[in-house]
Structure 1
Amino acid sequence: MYWDVKKVAPLPDYRIYVEIMDGRRGIFDLKPYLDHGTLRELRDENYFKQVGIVFGAVTWPHDQDIAPETLIAEMTPVDDQPEDSFLRIVEHGA
């Protein structure tokens, strides 16, 4: 579907880099959610880094996920930046 995530990578400061199947890409900040319900577990940085994709959704091993509508609505687009700068962010956590 148009909101399926095709790539996700953890970034410093509880942010994730995401690429959506429709070509959008951006940075999503999870800090506002870390004091709520099961997302509290994401405060453990080692666990946070285990982010992945299941059926097109951003997820973690203990079934935490981000609703696609929330992800798309609240991510900061990065389309205006050069491609190689994002590769450095994702690969090196800079």
Structure 2
Amino acid sequence: MMTKKERIQNVFIDLQYADTDWSYAADLFVRWNIENSFKTESFESFVNWIDESQIDENWGFFYGYGDDCKKFAADWVEEDEKGSYLEFVSQYV
């Protein structure tokens, strides 16, 4: 049986190139975590935050940011990683 963290890693990997209908900022958050091999404090915080019952559900909390990566970072990225995330997304937006 997979751990909660492994389940979420699999969701991120499965959705990496999918059209999630989430905000573009959230899609880039997924890519950023994959490129960092899930070794970010932000990913750990997300794993701790999400309830296991939500893992296989539609993640509505990622909607509404559009390409506003700064707003997304304020809500989902740990303070000391915001620079890394925003530098990563600057390649795409």
Same fold? TM cut 0.5: no
Using CA pairs under 8 Å that are at least 6 residues apart, name the structure with larger relative contact order, 1 or 2.
Answer: 2
Taking structure 2 as the reference length, the TM-score comes to 0.31
| Structure with the largest fraction of helix | 2
Higher strand share: 1
Q: TM-score, normalised by structure 1?
A: 0.31
